[in-house]
Amino acid sequence: MTLSLRPDFARIAEWITPNARVLDLGCGDGTLLKYLKESRNIHGYGVEISDDNLLKSVQNGVNAIQMNLEDGLSIFGSDSFDFVILSQTLQTMKKSESIIQEMLRVGRQVIVTFPNFGYWRHRQQLLLGHMPVSKELPYQWFNTPNVHLCTLKDFESFCASHHIHILERIVLTQGADVTLLPNLFGSLAVYRFEMGRR
């Protein structure tokens, strides 16, 4: 059975080593973990807050627990996982800084994806006097779950100031890699990083 994967899921999968221990935060219906189990033979766990998505995850054969990420990851020990993933959820977190620090505590490497607020179409909508609405940011200003939007440069500055070592970065638009002026032409960022030396 071939799964229809989001472009960031396919790129994340390229970074996951076979037999890795993976924690997917905000795992949704479990599609990514199911794919990683089938393609990389990973040992994975998902965390999800939605009742409906939790049920779908279990139906997809994914080990998932229900919890609010805003409460932290204290139920997981340090270095419990090889990879911790937060895919298109970072911008919805009220405590973005603390969730990244917790992810670095429980995992050897972290993979984060988020919509790039610096994407030219978003800038254009702002110049025309409107909050951006796009495939990556599909909500109106009054019903959006997004609370902390950032650009690629913002995220990289955050990493530098927190001694986080970026291992790889992929920037996508409509599933295709963007290498020319990625902060302007890229709509979705995919980062893999680890704690750097102080």
Span 7-16, pLDDT tens digits: 889 899 999 9
Asked, for residue 141, whether it belongs to a domain, the answer is no
In a domain, 124, yes or no: no
Nearest to 35, CA basis, from 66, 65, 64, 14: 14
Per-residue pLDDT tens digits for 16-45:
999 999 999 999 999 999 999 999 999 999
Residue 74 burial (CB count, 10 A): 9
**In sequence order, which ranges of the chain are alpha helices (DSSP H)?**
7-15, 31-40, 51-59, 96-106, 120-127, 152-161, 182-185
Please tell me the distance from the alpha carbon of residue 137 to that of residue 117, in angstroms, as a whole number: 9
Gap between the Cα atoms of 98 and 145, Å rounded: 18
112 is in which domain, residue-wise?
7-116+149-195
The answer to whether residue 112 is domain-embedded is yes
Say what the pTM is.
Answer: 0.93
Residue 167 sits in a domain of what CATH number?
3.40.50.150
Number of domains the chain is built from: 1
